[in-house]
Structure 1
Amino acid sequence: MNKFYFLSNNNDINDVVFLIFQCSFIPKFAISIQTRYEDNNGTTENCLGMTPEELEQREVDFLDIAYDEIKPHHYKEAEDPKFFKSQKTGRGPLVEGWRETHQPIMCCYKAVSVKFEVWGLQTKVEEYVQGAIREILLLGHRQAFAWMDDWFNMTIEDVREYEREMQAKTNIKLKSTIESVEGSNEDKNSDSSKPQTPKSPKTPKSTTSTPTAEGRSWFNWS
């Protein structure tokens, strides 16, 4: 399954990236993402140089970082481009139709290909992964815009240092999560041999919580 994403952003960056993700224990599963940034609002027909066959197969999807909906548990008002205004640059908030009128503007072109060559599961898995990637791209570019005052005027050395810092924090978080899951499994195995005491019903949680700007969390796939 191949999809082509257009993500316009109110920034000015120019770069090309090609990534391939594979899993050693699922050899028939692979994700490839090709990226190019251009100073326009998504008007380049074939900026990634696709072949005629690839162009025929691609499905084009324009992502609007301000007005496309995201899942409620990912929403934070402080990261909503419809409300954010940069103190350093004066950019924002993004009003309806901003892609046609706002300057400066950048478009992030992405060609995302997902392959899961397992009979009976291929279509469902590929569609699920494409949906998850779309959500990640949309949320990530919303955050990139809303966090503008944090990265504006950063040097390449600053960026590399930030990458190293976030890599270390991510590794710590992953290690903590794995240890927590393993500990939980051990507790369950231990408790399974003990007599079970009936549990009191839990009080339902409110679903009307108000989004806040506190914390910048890692992406949750759920």
Structure 2
Amino acid sequence: MVLNKEYRICMPLTVEEYKIGQLYMIARHSHEQSDSGEGVEVVENCACEDPEHGPGQYTEKRVHLSSRLPYWLQNLIPKLFYVTEKAWNYYPFTITEYTCSFIPKFHISIRTKYEDNNGSSENVLGVSPIELKDLAVDFIDIVYDEVNPRNYKEEEDLRYFKSVTTGRGPLVEGWRGGPQSGVLSENNSWLDPTVHPIMCSYKLVSVSFEVWGLQTRVEEFVQRCVRDVLLLGHRQAFAWVDEWIAMDLSAVRAYEADMIGKTNEKVAQGKAKGTPENADGKAAQHKEAEGRPEAELTLDHTGDEVGVGAAILSAGDSEETAAITSPSTPRNKSWFSWS
């Protein structure tokens, strides 16, 4: 069994603008969310090819996050483990898959399509009619949905943020329009979007954890974590718009390459320490976590993407034929399965 959800996240940007913004956001967010020894480590970044979507970029990352898990889950796994993220970017379509170094039956897959609308398109990711009947659609509001208090920053609060460069913002309630906005006009019809441009990230998230007794709890927990990260990542992408809006692809590639190097160094330094001092620190975190509600313990280190995916550092620069191809189309078992 696979737990599927579709998330729709609107932003006051165009799809073409977000091509730059999401690369900037991923690189910066990954660095900010990485601690010494825990965070995002990029292990491969190269060109790839897909018969349907054409040339793209493949990225493989290791997300080190063992101490970030809820306490009840830490008891079941080794102290040190990592999640592998494999992403294929054929913008405006991307595929991202997650597997765990310790739990082979744990899979997360995310298929994303970006469109210039307010989330009004139906089934843009081609879900089968049978799966579509049970598919829950969740509209994420980057302005008014509550972000985890740990991640709240006043300068990133889009109720008050106004972009100096673009003049966009602040975003008022009902800014997305449509039934998902929850705001009606005087004649009880749904309002149109109040901001232009507007785009939507459509994300089909599939979670599978085939372990008896834990499957439902873990799959629901992971979906909550994914939602938290999607909210934060898209929120930050617009809050940082003045820093990336003037970049072209070569500029954001250079920024990304610099941040990847810094993030890998940051993670490697902590891994090299590997001392009892670190273990004591984790033990202290475990003790503190015992009294904390599960909802506060989210997988924020998966925030380097969870849905947006790969970097485009060298797209078009490689003279060699891409040897890496994206996953095949959905299969009966689960479309992202490696078996």
TM (norm. structure 1) is 0.80
**Aligned residue number for residue 317 of structure 2:** none
Counterpart-to-counterpart distance in 2, 1:89 and 1:24: 43
Moved more, 171-180 or 43-52: 171-180
| One of 144, 148, 169 as aligned partner of 1:71 | 148
1:8 counterpart letter in structure 2 = C
**Aligned residue number for residue 262 of structure 2:** 169
**Aligned residue number for residue 214 of structure 1:** none
Residues 180/60 of structure 1: CA separation in 2 closer, same or farther (3 Å cut): farther
**Aligned residue number for residue 56 of structure 1:** 133
Aligned residue for 1:8, secondary structure, equals strand
Residues 186/81 of structure 1: CA separation in 2 closer, same or farther (3 Å cut): closer
* CA RMSD across the alignment: 2.0
How many residues align structurally?
192
**Aligned residue number for residue 4 of structure 2:** 2
Q: What percent identity do the matched residue pairs reach?
A: 54
Residues 82/112 of structure 1: CA separation in 2 closer, same or farther (3 Å cut): same
Shift of 1:48: 1.1
Moved more, 141-150 or 15-24: 15-24
Deviations 1:137-195 (A, max 9, x none): 0000010000000110311112222222222222122223334553425679xxxxxxx
Deviations 1:85-121 (A, max 9, x none): 1111000110111112111001111000011100001
2:175 counterpart letter in structure 1 = W
Counterpart-to-counterpart distance in 2, 1:22 and 1:83: 38
Which residues in structure 2 correspond to 1:186-205 (within 5 Å)?
A: none
1:44 counterpart letter in structure 2 = S
Counterpart-to-counterpart distance in 2, 1:162 and 1:51: 40
**Aligned residue number for residue 91 of structure 1:** 168
Residues 187/140 of structure 1: CA separation in 2 closer, same or farther (3 Å cut): closer
Residues 27/77 of structure 1: CA separation in 2 closer, same or farther (3 Å cut): same
Counterpart-to-counterpart distance in 2, 1:220 and 1:167: 15
**Aligned residue number for residue 105 of structure 1:** 198
**Aligned residue number for residue 151 of structure 1:** 244
Residues 187/118 of structure 1: CA separation in 2 closer, same or farther (3 Å cut): closer
Counterpart-to-counterpart distance in 1, 2:104 and 2:280: 33
Counterpart-to-counterpart distance in 2, 1:180 and 1:53: 51
| One of 11, 25, 36 as aligned partner of 2:13 | 11
**Aligned residue number for residue 224 of structure 2:** 131
Bigger Rg, which one = 1
Aligned residue for 1:98, secondary structure, equals coil
Counterpart-to-counterpart distance in 2, 1:49 and 1:81: 32
Shift of 1:47: 1.0
Aligned residue for 2:117, secondary structure, equals coil
**Aligned residue number for residue 39 of structure 1:** 116
1:141 counterpart letter in structure 2 = H
Counterpart-to-counterpart distance in 1, 2:195 and 2:132: 29
Instruction: With a CA cutoff of 8 Å and minimum separation of 6, indicate the structure with the bigger relative contact order.
Output: 2
Structure 2: 5+ residue stretches without partners? 17-91, 178-193, 282-299, 303-339
Residues 30/182 of structure 1: CA separation in 2 closer, same or farther (3 Å cut): farther
Residues 115/187 of structure 1: CA separation in 2 closer, same or farther (3 Å cut): closer
